[in-house]
Amino acid sequence: MGRTYIVEETVGQYLSNINLQGKAFVSGLLIGQCSSQKDYVILATRTPPKEEQNENLTHQQKAKLNNLDEEWATEHANQVSRMLPGGLLVLGVFIITTLEMGNDFQNALHRLVFAMEKSMNKRRLWNFTEEEISERVTLHICSSTKKIFCRTYDIHDPKSSAKPADWKYQNGLSTSWLSLECTVHINIHIPLSTTSVSYTLEKNTKNGLARWAKQIENGIYLINGQVKDEDCDLLEGQKKSSRGNVQATSHSFDVKVLTQLLLNSDRRSTATVQICSGSVNLKGAVKCRAYIHSNKPKVKDAVQAMKRDILNTVADRCEMLFEDLLLNEIPEKKDSEKEFHILPHRVFVPIPGSTVMLCDYKFGDESAEEMRDHFVEMLDHMIQIEDLEIAEEINTACVSYFMNTEASLDNTDDEQPNQPIKTTVILKIQQSIGVIAAVAVAVLAAGISFHYFSD
């Protein structure tokens, strides 16, 4: 028996309205949530065409489907995955063709699904558990015969063959979701040792975030002020309607995270002195949001969705900041000159006709119109500017330059240094030995800072 996919009816309408416009095929992403019994699909979004593809429809008509642009489609998946709150995933891909295709076509879809999952997994600070569903879906629609072919692949097994799956539409699926909201205050200090100087700043930061991620994973989560057994029903104790169902559309849960104080650890601290080329400080408060389907939701599933949103939003903002600094490369300066940068903060927008909201990240110089256009480009759905919900205040980053040499204490139990951490962090814009390093103060919803020192 294959997997069953319960699909919002508006997804079916969206897929049927896609016009090939002379192209051999159109592909895109399927977004939703996995559960032990069935998967839920609440959104489909076509992959935007490359400019050169728009300019050469004749070539597209003759293109072979096994030459599907994996790199372009995978980048789209990476961008969209940043826009998903906790609990939602890219579940797979769809493709619409004018003709029914053979085995070569299925091989192309197989490669695409695995390429996407591999790329998205590299960016995560968390791993899927053994109990989680590891199947991803491919949906093939023939526009001429209207036939639908739904198959799944096990992403844990690169040699897995396609399995048939059921694709069932359901009205009102997008309104059957519970939301969880949380504000997490972070204060992360990441020393950058001289032994890792050959690594990029992004890689060093991600390695440092991995230690903090363990704290988030092992934290205690209060739901509406209570600690609940992980196997309990999330809606236990909630009022039910006359039909015996909980009215889930109005349910929102407040979540608080308690992380363990490592000073109370039974493990003896073995602090050592580590020679550092710099350090990274992350400080501030981040707004987190997760969604879970209201069909018998468990506490452990809700907590897991929230954990992953916390980890994703911090990692994604760091990644976006590095990308922005590389695209707008700052020339080296001397003395103590400073530059200020507005760091990305989270913006939410509702899926049309749904209680679920997706998100994006806005730099200070981006207008509401640019945010709207980015949503439309990535998700292929119209949104209204007035629907944009800015969850966090705009903050600034300061970049200054100096020459210095320091050492940093590194505690093996992840204990913070005793000396107060400066609110500025040093960010080295260009890696080179013995040159002036860049110091950047950045705020992640409230603060992120980078410190680099040169001899």
List, for residues 213-257, the tens digit of each pLDDT value.
999 999 999 999 999 999 999 988 776 554 445 554 458 999 999
* Average pLDDT estimate for 255-267: 72
- Report the 10 Å Cβ neighbour count for 123: 14
Per-residue CA distances from 127 to 112, 304, 312 (Å): 21, 11, 12
Please state, in angstroms and as integers, the Cα–Cα distance from residue 183 to each residue in 13, 85, 365, following that order: 36, 14, 25
pLDDT digits (tens, 9 = 90+) for 301-360: 999 999 999 999 999 988 888 788 777 765 544 443 434 445 688 999 998 888 899 999
Cα separation, 124 vs 4, whole angstroms: 27
DSSP state string for 123-176? T-SS---TTS--EEEEEEEETTT--EEEEEEETT-TTPPPEE-EEEEETTGGG-
- pLDDT (tens digit, 9 = 90+) per residue, 85-140? 999 999 999 999 887 666 667 888 899 999 999 999 998 999 998 889 999 999 99
Residue 194 is encoded by which pair of tokens?
Answer: 């001289």
What integer pLDDT is reported at residue 281 of this predicted model?
A: 76
How many angstroms separate the CA atoms of 260 and 53, rounded? Answer: 53
What size, in residues, is the chain?
455
**pLDDT for residue 407 is more than 60:** no
Tell me which DSSP letter residue 199 carries: S
For residue 1, the model assigns a pLDDT of: 62
Q: What is the pLDDT of residues 174-202, one digit of tens each?
A: 888 999 999 998 888 878 777 766 667 67
- What the chain holds in terms of domains, given with CATH numbers, is 4-49+65-172 (3.40.140.10), 177-233+250-261+276-327+341-394 (no CATH)
Complete DSSP assignment for 28-46: EEEEEE--SS-EEEEEEEE
Indicate if the pLDDT at residue 204 is higher than 60: yes
Lowest mean pLDDT among 98-102, 379-383, 418-422: 418-422
What DSSP letter does each residue of 100-126 carry, written as one string? Answer: ---HHHHHHHHHHHHHHHHHHHHT-SS
The pTM of the full predicted model, rounded to 2 decimals, is: 0.82
Cα–Cα distance measured from residue 37 to residue 221, given in angstroms and rounded to the nearest whole number:
25
Contact of 22 with 12, CB cutoff 8 Å: no
